[in-house]
Chains A and B, each alone.
Chain A
């Protein structure tokens, strides 16, 4: 029994090590504040990680990856709307994903700006920051899809 628990602990620490390496954010894009990325990471850990995973690569067939996709790196207004309204069943990079992303209108403008800035500068991504003002503008005219 003791041997098993040691093995288990070893497996666990390997995981922690791997986690640490993977979640390490490389230098953000020029003009992006490190403080905003750090705040965004906290939001990611609480709100996004369970589905999109530690390495941002999602889950095959379920939850899409956040690395180098046009949804993450492209139009910011569309990206902000994904957070506000949720998403399901969109083909990304030629693969289909069936997981349901819940809407997150309860997050503040700043939290959404921070987490998107973090995502746009993690997992191999490098892109400009999203600002709270941009989120505010999008939210003002956003019409969530009817339930």
Chain B
């Protein structure tokens, strides 16, 4: 009886560990988004929240934001569909937190080793489109409705490219299990030659673009589109809005984590084997987790920087990019990968 519980407890502990890391990165990202954009635009950015005389470059602003979110009035419009209105933020946030279970974030640090891990990941992650769509529909607001429709159309379109781009990587690694995919990227030229980004450069670019579109952030933030429609969460306030907000940033972290797993060798670094031999196992694991967090953080920072660099696409441009440029390119990538694999066998 107890023996059966131990692996479950271990999985749970590993999952909670990753959840803690992600939920630790999210507030830092909300801070970074504002400070980074400020520095890019020759501003100073938020630096006023303080504890006593201690300001910490505005790092207390996420705390102040959290307090504000909880204290604000939670308003539901008169004609809104109440159950769905309540459900939508949960549906938007939950899938992002569920897929963390299959992401390997260190040696042996993976809550669930599913053989269909990547399919599970894509399947669950695409459920989060329901959050946006339901929020738009349940708000009884034209602009929210438009935002929800845009979100569903956009996310379904880019899901195709995302899957196709990942297919090239799957063919090379020969597995759908994220942990095994990370292991398959070990070695090669300089210890990083087998990373997905070098074996699938086009796939990496396509997947990254599609993943950014999937997180509904600039330059693909049409569902939000604040100058035009304000987006699917226009009627949300207080912590319900906070959940959308957190969900968006959690999606940034998770998409970065998936890109890291598929294309940047997960937690693997060229000097890994030296650490494994020379250091105790706990240090090896900590080193792996730290490397993983570092890679994810760099990708997150890149996504934030992109947001403040590129203007928003027009809707027809978005659809053209998705269906007429990214999708054929990803199909060509799959074809080229297959030809090379057969040719070199």
Same assembly: no
Residues of B within 8 A of A (CB): none
